[in-house]
Structure 1
Amino acid sequence: MHSKCIVHRDIKSENVFFAKERLIKLGDFGFSTYSEKNQALTTFCGSPPYAAPELYRDENYIGIYVDIWAMGITLFFMVTALMPFRAENVGKLKKSIIDGHYSIPGHVSNECQELINGLLNHEINERWSIKEIRSCSWLAHQNFPKEFDPFLTNINDYSISSNETTISTVLPTKFSIEHETFLRLEKLGITSEHLQAMNKNIDDNNFSNRDNINGTYRIILHRLQKQLNALERDDMYEKKMNEDFSSSRHHMISSYSKTGEQQTQLKLNQSQAQNTRVCIIL
């Protein structure tokens, strides 16, 4: 999101949605805006408890740092079920956030506390970046899925749809997915004649990229994107589960000697381990 110069400006727990296991999505982009790196913004946006101190203190702010602060508030709430800054009214809340004093409960791990403190740093230049967040010890050994490829969003930009090209069905590529999108458009009755008519409207300056054909194109393209991305993510998850299962099973087997009654116990545990694997897959 930030790499595409988009700042959200309203990150909070209510805008984080669980799409499925191990897949969350950030929603409600009503306050989002396009912002160049280090571009100063002046509009106050978001929810007061999640607002960064510079929103209350300064005349302008940098959108990326405001989003990162809100991520810190959200993480604090996720691991403690509390808000770091609490007050009876907005005025007192503002003072509390500007003062910057908060306390992390002792049950939160040191690694997680380090991340929270990095996100809630009052000095924006010392506030952790996305790169630092991903490389922190609390998120060690986590698999970060790839972002979606930057597919074309306007159908009129696609200039190679009519080329006869061999499409790989084994390893989908950006081109093959866009090509598949056009094939599905044809099955829905959106033919080359419709596209030619659209191009004529473009030449006549009578064109909107929000028409029904572009809308259908984007819906199909997004569905294909989700299918490809979900396959990659499920593969990583299954691989991790198999690694964890193999490691725990090896540890269980090595815990027993191969004699008498203990051999019987080992066979029982191995049988249970097979059932456990089925449960993990389900």
Structure 2
Amino acid sequence: MVVTVNNIAYDLKHGLKTDIYYPNDTDSQTKILIFWHGGGWFRRSKESIRDVAIDLANAGFMTFVPDYRLAPANHFPAAHEDALNFAAWLLASNYTDEGDENNIVQIGASSGGTLALKVAGMYGFPTVTWSAPVDFSSWLADHQEVKPSVNAKEELGLTKQQAINEAFYKYFVLTYVGSEDYDLLADLDAQSYDYSKLGRLLMLNSAAELTDLAGVTNFAGHLAGRGHQVDLEIIPGHGHAMDYGREYLRESMTYLNYALSLKTGSE
């Protein structure tokens, strides 16, 4: 039976909390998983992935689901800073033991996947992303004619799914960044992050995402060109992140367990 402890404060200054889902049996060897929820950095919360967190705990992962600051009240890099602060808090807390940095993994959904990339580069936690957006500055430069909208079908009368997706993509990016400043957008680009400690990375994306897959493949090539191993899996269809996440949860856990076995030499 999974035991859930809600609203553990990890950042008193900003009022940020995490939920913890404990497996039935825990000991010093229990695997730790951080799950970053999505929502375009402007909506959703840790409660939105409760069912997935329970599944992860039932599979043996002590699962942490932190909240982070949301736009438009908090612009970039607020959520990114919160993600790094959470990782530092976790390693310094009573929930981890010495050496547990080798026992922590991550899953990030949508914009939460982008946060997971930021943390993975700094801490080396094996990571799986579901539909993580990675390209912002060049995409916006190439789509200046797109009008941002959170619901373009109703607000703009758009009918084509690609056009609706593009309007939403532009909306959540600009909502988080707060402007079309190119330098800020470039800093948000996943290619700009520090990947000096990047470990195993699996990126899942559907064939018809919110944006063209070129941004993801270019990003994977960027990392591979710098000596990092990236596993990229393209899923048929047009689902985004949580649309297919439960279906691919077992595969994600298998990948993370294998990555941990490589780190600990227990393969």
Higher helix proportion, which one? 1
Choose between structure 1 and 2: higher strand proportion: 2
Higher relative contact order (CA 8 A, sep 6+): 2
Task: Determine if the TM-score, normalized by the shorter chain, exceeds 0.5.
Answer: no
TM range (shorter): under 0.3
TM-score by length of structure 1 reads: 0.26
Bigger CA radius of gyration: 1
